[in-house]
Amino acid sequence: MWARRLLVRVRQRVPPGLRLILGLLFIAGGFLAILPVFGLWMLPLGVAIAALDVVPFVRWLRGRRRR
């Protein structure tokens, strides 16, 4: 539930290009799970944040290919 609220806030407050970078940083932080601040919880959250930008881009590419 908290992740859904976080994604809504990220979608509203973070510019589109920066969301992809933020998602990639979360994914990279997930690989540093041995450190106390980072953890495996960052991997799915990073993928979800990055998907906010990647999915519209993929749809846009598919639409251009059909024409």
CA distance 26 to 49: 9
In the chain, what are the domain boundaries?
Answer: 2-66
CA distance 67 to 10: 33
Is the distance from CB of 29 to CB of 38 less than 8 angstroms? yes
- Tracing tokens 């992809």 back to the chain, one arrives at 20
pLDDT at 67 over 60: no
Using a cut of 0.85, tell me whether the model's pTM lies above it: no
Distance set, CA 38 to CA 20, 23, 35, 65 (Å) = 19, 14, 6, 40
DSSP character for 36? S
Question: 4-24: per-residue pLDDT in tens?
Answer: 888 888 888 888 889 889 999
